[in-house]
Amino acid sequence: MPREPATVMIYVDADACPVKGEVYRVAERHGVSVCVVANSFIAVPRDPRVQRVIVGDAPDAADDWIAERAGPRDIVVTADIPLAARCVKAGASVLAPDGRAFTDDSIGLALATRNLMTDLRAAGAQTRGPRPFANADRSRFLSALHEAIVRLNRAG
């Protein structure tokens, strides 16, 4: 989907994203395009501003596709910390589905925590998984996405 350089694009790491519906609603309200990237078929609204990209099932294929395209006028929605780090480095605005923003200031700690937990699990430690997704998370995400779009449009 070709786009004007000054327009905002939302990239969604879609395979396990619990806020796709919210992304579509906010994007429609703001007239913003959405690119939904997944490893297999995923239903998307019939809207010319919503594009579905199926990248195949290679490891990190969706992450690589998004990271190669994300830049300063883009918003990336992902819970994947390494992908978030790559996109922050490229200058994109990055939001987790719970509304938490990944920034230059926060991504280092997020990566370190993820790596520590991975190492602990590999060593056999019992760790808790993520807490259940709640309505408050959905609300924070909606607000954060709206604010990110407004900020990028003002920076125009």
**Quick check: is 84 in a domain?**
yes
Average pLDDT over residues 77-86: 95
pLDDT tens column, 99-154:
999 998 887 767 776 666 677 677 887 777 677 889 999 999 999 999 999 999 99
Average pLDDT over residues 76-81: 95
CB atoms within 10 A of CB 95: 25
Q: How far apart are CA 9 and CA 146, in angstroms?
A: 13
Domain of 104, in residue numbers: 9-126+135-151
pLDDT at 110: 74
Domain count, the chain: 1
Q: The tokens of 105 are what? A: 């200031």
**Quick check: is 37 in a domain?**
yes
Residue of higher predicted confidence among 156 and 64: 64
Beta carbons of 91 and 72 less than 8 angstroms apart: yes
* DSSP symbol at 12: E
pLDDT tens column, 23-37:
999 999 999 999 999
Mean per-residue pLDDT over the chain, rounded? 90
**Quick check: is 1 in a domain?**
no
Q: Domain with 108 in it: what CATH number?
A: 3.40.50
Residue of higher predicted confidence among 7 and 95: 95
**Quick check: is 3 in a domain?**
no
**Single-letter residue type at 90:** A
Beta carbons of 85 and 66 less than 8 angstroms apart: no
Residue of higher predicted confidence among 48 and 16: 48
Q: The tokens of 45 are what? A: 């609204």
**Quick check: is 77 in a domain?**
yes
| pLDDT of 4 over the 80 cut | no
**Strand order through the sheet with 50-54:** 50-54, 33-38, 9-13, 74-77, 93-95, 101-102
**Quick check: is 118 in a domain?**
yes
* Signed CA dihedral, 32, 71, 139, 12: sign only: positive
Q: Which of 83, 70, 37, 34 is nearest to 56 (CA)?
A: 37
**Quick check: is 122 in a domain?**
yes
pLDDT at 5: 55
Share of the chain above pLDDT 90, in %: 71
Beta carbons of 40 and 54 less than 8 angstroms apart: yes
